[in-house]
Amino acid sequence: MANELTKYLDSANLPSIDGGALANALVDAADDASSGGSSGVDYLSFSGKTGRYSLGRNQDEIDPDQLYLVEPHTFIGGWVCWKNSKPIDRIEWSVLKAKEQAIDIDDLEDHGPYRESVGEGWQQLLGFGLIGMDAVFSQVKFSSTSKSGRNSIGDLMKEIGIRSASAEPDMPLIYFGETSFESNGQTNYKPVLSVEAWVSRGSAAAYLAGELNEDQLIAGDKPKKKRARKKT
């Protein structure tokens, strides 16, 4: 498929889905969110005009110190069609299956006419699922259609791929920030995905099971091996 999303798959070299409990939980969460299910997953969006993050139906601000665990298997690509400042159509697929599922821009339904001067029409999308490092392990889905937002997500994907290929811990613990830049004489903002630590899948699963605390997870502690029962 000749579009930019395919290159993200090739360059990231993300691992195939292994059916682990953590992967399944977040893959299902991302699927429910994209299909409009009521799984308790909150959408997180970012405004390039204001530099503000908005979470859930109430458009709440997020805590800048809140850490989130990223599940590499939930990265998605797709398209969003904007019209009258609202998304009127959306198509998504797993980045892991982009070669089979990605749709070329020429094959998208035409909802025009569009006012291209204000950004109407189909725009590329990248996103992923996260778990909040809070008391309830809140499930969140973050996506972006802006070029700067997609670049931030793509950079994180590539780093995950590099670490995965080197058998290093490849699950990032991130927090969301922003930075400003000038474009056409105006101040705009782009999201910054800052990595606090890289953790292994085993350690992440142990944290979610209550076997490691947050400080231990960030420090890179490994879950204790369970002793085998003596045969009688």
Position 231 scores a pLDDT of 62
Q: What end-to-end distance do the CA atoms of the chain give, in Å?
A: 60
Q: What is the sign, positive or negative, of the torsion defined by CA atoms of 137, 67, 19, 216?
A: negative
Position 39 scores a pLDDT of 57
Q: Is this prediction's pTM over 0.85?
A: no
Number of residues that this document lists for the chain: 232
- The burial of 108, by beta-carbon neighbours within 10 Å (0-12 exposed, 13-18 middle, 19 or more buried), is given as middle
pLDDT digits (tens, 9 = 90+) for 8-33: 334 344 444 343 444 444 444 444 44
Taking residue 159's Cβ as centre, other Cβ atoms within 10 Å add up to 16
- Roughly what angle, to the nearest 10 degrees, separates helices 4-12 and 147-165? 30
Half-sphere exposure of residue 96: CA atoms within 13 angstroms, side-chain side: 14
pLDDT digits (tens, 9 = 90+) for 24-73: 444 444 444 444 444 588 999 999 999 999 999 899 999 999 999 999 98
- Which regions in the chain score pLDDT beneath 50? 1-38
